[in-house]
């Protein structure tokens, strides 16, 4: 959070609006992968929250008046229809990059920034 606060200070001095995008990890999106992680580490599925990092970071961003966009819900919804990550890789494939770009564009083009 310290680095983000420094970035926020720089943006404020230059009258720039900072927006942080919370990008989902594939384990947050791909149910089969989540099930493998739960089984491998003997987690109790209903007691482990894979979205906790997003929740904690979003709370800190709100506390510090930093705008953010969490795109995990869009990825979860789209991920049931099409793969969004490269196989055996943590990076998005073309569909994942396209989805992220569309969601970010929609957010930045919205009334919030008018």
Query: Domains of the chain (ranges plus CATH)?
Result: 2-113 (3.40.50.12700)
Average pLDDT over residues 62-71: 96
pLDDT of residue 2 exceeding 70, the answer is yes
Please give the backbone phi and psi of residue 74, each rounded to the nearest 5 degrees, phi first: -65, -40
> Radius of gyration of the chain from Cα atoms?
16
Per-residue pLDDT of 8-56, as tens digits, reads: 999 999 999 999 999 999 999 998 998 888 888 887 767 788 999 999 9
pLDDT grade for 100, boundaries at 50, 70 and 90: very high
Cβ neighbours for 24, distance < 8 A, ≥ 6 positions apart: 54, 71, 72, 75, 76
Q: What is the pLDDT of residues 18-31, one digit of tens each?
A: 999 999 999 999 98
Show the tokens assigned to 57. 């970071």
């Amino acid at each position: 959070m310290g680095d983000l606060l420094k970035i926020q200070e720089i943006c404020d001095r230059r009258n720039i609006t900072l927006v942080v995008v919370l990008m989902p990890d594939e384990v947050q999106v791909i149910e089969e992968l989540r099930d493998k992680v739960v089984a491998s580490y003997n987690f109790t599925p209903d007691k482990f929250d894979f979205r906790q990092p997003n929740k904690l970071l979003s709370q800190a961003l709100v506390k510090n008046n930093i705008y953010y966009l969490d795109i995990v819900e869009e990825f979860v919804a789209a991920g049931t229809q099409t793969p969004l990550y490269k196989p055996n890789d943590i990076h998005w494939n073309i569909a994942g990059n396209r989805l992220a770009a569309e969601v970010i564009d929609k957010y930045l083009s919205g009334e919030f920034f008018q």
